[in-house]
Structure 1
């Protein structure tokens, strides 16, 4: 990893840390950022930033979870009106912005791991390019959805068709057909589309969407892809538990059946270096590589935890998001399945950012600009805003 990339990664980690910390812990975040700025060695600065993130995030998360509805105490010198306006501004929680920061932090943590593990430079380039493409695709999907309210069934049906096509006509490797060739690169359509499909279904209640989910469950069983079948089942079960209507229960049962079918299919794929099993091998490379890998994996699930704590009205979306990515990480820990975002491979990065287009932009119940797929009505939770840190001097 180049010096500039390592310094940029360290700076982004510091920004993410400051955005996550409650007010009383932000002096620690400022101190960490100042210390990182004055560390001359770029690798040492990145490792220090990652270590501080790992050390302070549990305390920040504990504060957010133990006081989910508590905001800042107003200064006594402020008038009642100005206090009310201040609390109104600070109560806004922006789930998508926070999730984008977490996703970018996870990708940079993965780049740090790949660099420390002496992965080929092409691996780093592919992941970095996937980050840029994923962000662009997320913005494009958000703009497209603002023009049409029929995006959910369309996305689900299109995803079902693509995954079924891969199962039938994809590139078979050791009996598994999970990949397709695009522009000379192998991509995994299920890893790109299933996270978005699950979040789209979380807001869909029609039978066409349910039929699409059942087709995806069948396709994943045919591939077979035990990891993504488990992710689909986890997401559908989370939705059915919070929204137990007929469509959700039917989709959950179908997804669970598809996952059960994969348990009886052989899976002989060997582990690929820098892709599979890195949850176990990263610390063998070094403490810094292991910390980068674990921190990146945790960042994928952090937006769901924060959303559940701060936005009760959007809990179905956050529960589905957290269930899907927890299952994908768990599959990577239990078998030879890609370690998402942190390991080499652009499919998981594209899938993560595409799915973020379905998360709400704000959880304060106020619409910002035109309506989009992310607008979710919510009551102000009375919590402070997670603001990005100011740019360094």
Structure 2
């Protein structure tokens, strides 16, 4: 039970930090999968409702108060830059983005189905949210952090598949 409380408190603290940093896509991508994972572990209905309510409120507030900075072409508009390079680059770019969540969603490890599906859901939310605002496109935008952020779960996934 102590580990569950630590997970709940850590999730809410991280969600608050993401809400302060006006990136609704990251908060939404983090909070929704965490709600699913925690919901499956919490037995008390009141605690489930409280956790769900807090995270939902933070998501709503983050979408109401979006970042007002203009987009950076090599971060938030990278798909548009691909389109400007030609149809073939755009098609390859979109295919590469679609492939990101596939292993996590379609082929989850036996012992880690919910965490695997939630990682895939995170990537789906992040990708879809780029259609609704100026949010970084994972693995295609400028910088190494999204690549490292993908290598961590894909390494976990590969090790989980090897051990199952």
Bucket of the pairwise TM-score, normalised by the shorter protein: 0.7 to 0.9
What is the TM-score when the length of structure 2 is the normalising length?
0.81
Distance 1:209 1:215 in 2: 10
| Greater helix proportion | 2
Select which of 278, 286, 295 maps to 2:78. Answer: 278
Structure 1 partner of 2:20: 222
8 Å Cα contact 2:15-2:58 kept in structure 1: yes
CA–CA separation in structure 1 for the residues paired with 2:3 and 2:43? 9
Kindly indicate whether the alpha-carbon contact (under 8 Å) linking 2:112 and 2:160 is maintained by their aligned counterparts in 1.
no
- CA change 1:266–1:317 in 2 (3 A) is closer
- Could you say which structure has the larger radius of gyration? 1
Inter-CA distance 320–276: structure 2 relative to 1 (3 Å threshold): same
Per the alignment, in what secondary structure is the counterpart of residue 67 of structure 2? coil
Unaligned runs of 5+ in 2: none
Residue equivalent to 2:36: 238
Equivalent position of 1:300 in the other structure: 100
Superimposed CA distance per residue, residues 56-94 of structure 1 (whole angstroms, 9 cap, x where no aligned partner): xxxxxxxxxxxxxxxxxxxxxxxxxxxxxxxxxxxxxxx
1:347 aligned to which of 125, 142, 145: 145
How big is the shift at 1:316? 0.6
Residue 300 of structure 1 deviates from its aligned partner by 1.2
For the 8 Å contact 1:278–1:343, the answer to whether it is kept is: yes
Cα 1:351–1:296 change in 2 (3 A) is: same
Q: Which residue matches 1:371?
A: none
Normalised by the length of structure 1, the TM-score is 0.37
- TM-superposed deviation, 1:363: 3.6
1:290 to 80, 87, 90: 90
Higher relative contact order, structure no. (Cα contacts within 8 Å, ≥ 6 residues apart): 1
> How do 1:2-41 residues align onto structure 2 when only pairs under 5 Å count?
none
Distance in 2 (alpha carbons) for counterparts of 1:303 and 1:315: 11
Q: Distance in 2 between matches of 1:217 and 1:312?
A: 28
In structure 2, the residue matched to 1:322 is 120
Structure 1 residue 240 displacement after superposition: 4.3
| Counterpart residue number, 1:206 | 4
**Residues 24 and 66 of structure 2 are in contact (CA less than 8 Å); yes or no, is this contact kept in structure 1?**
no
Hey, what's the Cα distance between the residues in 2 that align with 1:314 and 1:218?
27
Q: What is the Cα-based RMSD across aligned positions, in Å? A: 2.6
1:177-196 CA distances to partner (integer Å, 9 max, x unpaired)?
xxxxxxxxxxxxxxxxxxxx
**Cα distance in structure 1, aligned partners of 2:82 and 2:155:** 31
Contact 1:279 1:332 in 2 (8 A): no
Give per-residue Cα distances to partners, 1:113-144, cap 9 Å, x unaligned.
Answer: xxxxxxxxxxxxxxxxxxxxxxxxxxxxxxxx
Deviation at 1:305, TM superposition (A): 2.5
**What is the rounded CA distance, in whole Å, between the counterparts of 1:352 and 1:253 in structure 2?**
29
Does structure 1 conserve the Cα–Cα contact (< 8 Å) formed by 2:104 and 2:117? yes
Distance 1:205 1:358, change over 3 A: farther
Give distance in 2, aligned partners of 1:314 and 1:266.
Answer: 34
Q: How far apart are residue 218 of structure 1 and its match? A: 1.1
